[in-house]
Every structure is written in structure tokens, then in C-alpha cells.
Amino acid sequence: MAQVSITVNGRLRKASVESRTLLVFFLREQLFLTGTHVGCDTSQCGACTVLVDGRTAKACTMFAVQADGSTVTTIEGLATEATLHPLQQGFWEEHGLQCGFCTPGMIMAAVGLLQDNPKPSEREIREGISGNFCRCTGYQHIVNAIQHAAGGR
């Protein structure tokens, strides 16, 4: 077992984990932050996307011990008490989700995208979320949602 100290959604969390524990299982099983989902076992689907030190990361591709000392933001940490994040608002307004399973990862990926490129073109949005699968929407309303958050709709 290894000791880790990770600041998750603004709160320092200390825990002991198996060295093979994936970051996503640490978040889900030990911190009960179940908004981050597991959609595959090969790092393709992006349902587990979180921010690690401000950059998007697939939490199924990292061990919890690799995040030791880092700052992690999950979907639960995105909204302030009173206000949804602009991307959450955009997904709501533009019907950017159906079953909702891919949504937390998709939103976190979009957060990373807009950090790097606040005014992306439609092509750039589609490329920016191409590491995230959605089986429900055909992506068009997700693109609209990200455009909404970027002030383009």
C-alpha cells in the first residue's frame, strides 16, 4: 500500500491505496466521487476524463499514486455552489446529452479544449472531443453545447 495526498475539488485528501489502484477507482471507490465514469478498459472512450493539475487526463490511464501531490478536478468540482459552469449550462441548454454516461468526461474534455482554444471552430471542437465517445447524440448537440459555452450560439 502507498500513501497519497491529492487535492480533489479543492480539498486535500490523504489515503492509502494499492500501487495498482487506478486514479478513477480511487476517486470512485475511496472518495465516492462517482460522477467520473468508467466506459472502457483501453483508454479510448474518455468517460473518465478529469483535470489533473489543470490538464485533461483519462483517470483510467493513471494510477492514483501518479497523482500524488497533484490537484484533481472532477465533474463534481466544476460548478460553484450557485452557478453551473458555462459548459454544464451549455450541455443543458443545447440538449448535449441523452443517457448522460459519457457526459462528465465529455464536459471535462471540453473544459480542457476551451482552456487551450477559447473560440474554437466547429472542426476544432470535433477534433478536440475526438478522444471521447458518445453513443447517444451523434455529437451534433454536443458541438452546439460547446459553442454555446464559447459564446458562439
Partner 1 sequence: MTSPVLPKLVGQRIRRREDPRLIQGRATYVDDIKLPGMLHLAFKRSDIPHGRIRSIDVSAALAMEGVETVFTGAQIAELVAPMPIGTAWPSPEHRAVAVDVVRYAGEPVAVVVARDRYVARDAADAIAVSYDPLPAVVDPELAMTGQPAVIHPAFRNNLALDGLPGGTGVSAAGVDDSAIDKAFADADVIISQRMVNHRLVPNAMETRGVVAHYEPGKGTMTIWGSTQNPHVMRSIIAAMNGLGQDQVRAIAPEVGGGFGAKINVYGEDFVAAAVSKQLGMPVKWIEDRSEAFVATSHGRDIIGYVDLAATHEGKVLGIKLRLVADIGAYNLLFTAMIPTLTMLMANATYDIPAIRVTVTEVFTNKTPTDAYRGAGRPEATYFVERAFDMLARQLKMDPADVRRKNFIQPDQFPYATQMGAVYDSGDYEKALDRALKNANWDELKQQRDAAKREGRLVGLGLAMYVEVCGLGPSAILPTGGWEHSQITVERDGRISATTGASPHGQGNETTFAQMLADQFGVPIEHITILHGDTAIVKQGVGTFGSRSQAVGGTALHLAGGKVKTKMAKFAAAMLEAAEEDLVFENGRVFVKGAPASGKSFAEVSAFAYVPVPLPPGLEPGLSEEAFFEPTNNTYPFGCHISMLEVDRETGEPTLLKLVAVDDAGHLINPLIVEGQIHGGLAQGIGQAMIEEAVYNSEGQLVTGSFMDYAMPRATDFPRFELDSTVTPTPSNPLGAKGVGEAGTLGSTPSIVSAAVDALSEFGVTHIDMMLRPEKLWRIIQGGRA
Binding status of residue 95 toward partner 1 by CB under 8 A: yes
Q: Residue 70 or residue 103: which is nearer to partner 1 going by CB? A: 103
**What whole-number distance in Å separates Cα of residue 108 and Cα of residue 3?**
27
Strands (E), 1-153: 2-8, 11-17, 49-52, 55-58, 71-73
How many angstroms separate the Cα of 64 from the Cα of each of 10, 21, 34, 60, 119? 17, 6, 15, 9, 33
CB of 114 to partner 1, least distance (A): 15
Q: Which stretch binds partner 1 (CB under 8 A): 51-59, 64-72, 103-111, 113-121?
A: 103-111
**Could you tell me which residues are beta bridge partners of residue 49?**
58
Binding status of residue 36 toward partner 1 by CB under 8 A: yes
CB 102 within 8 Å of CB 47: yes
CB 14 within 8 Å of CB 3: yes
Considering CB under 8 A, how many residues would be counted as binding partner 1?
56
Binding status of residue 140 toward partner 1 by CB under 8 A: yes
Which of 129, 147, 148, 149 is the binder for partner 1 (CB under 8 A)? Answer: 129
Q: Which stretch binds partner 1 (CB under 8 A): 51-59, 63-71, 90-98, 111-119?
A: 90-98
CB of 53 to partner 1, least distance (A): 20
